[in-house]
Structure 1
């Protein structure tokens, strides 16, 4: 029950968009996948969000910043954890990330000073804080250092809005493949292949605009199946469908790519 000092309040979707920078399209998608439900829908379909919805949206955005995909976020939110305790855990993760980024800034500033004074470069300080993830290593091993460099340069060139649009597209693709898999549509089905064409465009963008050939595209599909991190992305309600995506990519590659 709301206390007299803290009366119940709701925010319109327009207020949420202005305050957070999250687009109305993203909020609708969060509702469609069951992550964030409006507290009520008013006249003309106007959606309103109460304090509990705002807290949930903040957690969603924090978890996105920490690199989680929507299926993983859903699993985290479904855990029966008291809100303040959950936010404390998120804050601790963000503080660790902030500390890591501060170390990167310090390492770059140290390199600048060394270059300006003619000192000796030291690997102990030059690379402090950098997160050399397995994804980078895998990309460089499979497709070369240039492939990773092009992708990284492209991502850093995007505005926040463009990055959000890129994330929205992959979320929509995951939802689409989850649906076609649940309906047991074959890989060569027109609807599945339309999704795969969008996936190819999305991957090409992530490669800095370079279009992967048939072998590379099939290789990415194989990685979706072999790597449990991608497997988690292509799992909804405990039902995996990475193989469905891989098979669709294989069909697309054979029919459209060289």
Structure 2
């Protein structure tokens, strides 16, 4: 029995766009494609999708899921590695939560929070994120982020607040483009993403390869997905596709 992509999307709760993305990255291809381009999925593909969704529920990154399902990675070893990542991520978020609490005390008049303490949790969080990136993607991944002391040295608290405000405005514009079904690889999307690239370069000198790698981080790291997708859960995947396209087309990155 063959199921259309729309039926699979309805049964699984995964959008047709996501299923097409899985096909594009070689994670889940349809069992058959008819002459008119319709995609059909059989029992084998449905079983594979079920396993993909189980691993996604555990927040295992798509590249690692692909390796597991291809037999290139031992599932137990992969899940243990992922468990270490989750534990490190929990510790990083705990450090940031402490900073948020301190900042709220400051804003509500509980006590005056010195600027160096304001950035302390951000420093700790950035250092922890670099460690988890190295665990997850290898040594080269740590180059995706600036050093932990970039913000405190060059930015005041007002600079940070302004950057956060500008970032939210940019994410809102990106979200509006996504909701309007703008192709993330189109010139319209890349013109907006150019502002994202410039904002990134304002805090660290991202090479074309590093900016391209940032797409994987936005898609797979829970905290980064939370930041980008706070108002639009579908934005991280859209933005990741746009970043990859921008790095290749505008920055001449060659993956």
Taking structure 1 as the reference length, what is the TM-score of the superposition? 0.46
Taking structure 2 as the reference length, what is the TM-score of the superposition? 0.46
Which protein shows a greater Rg?
1
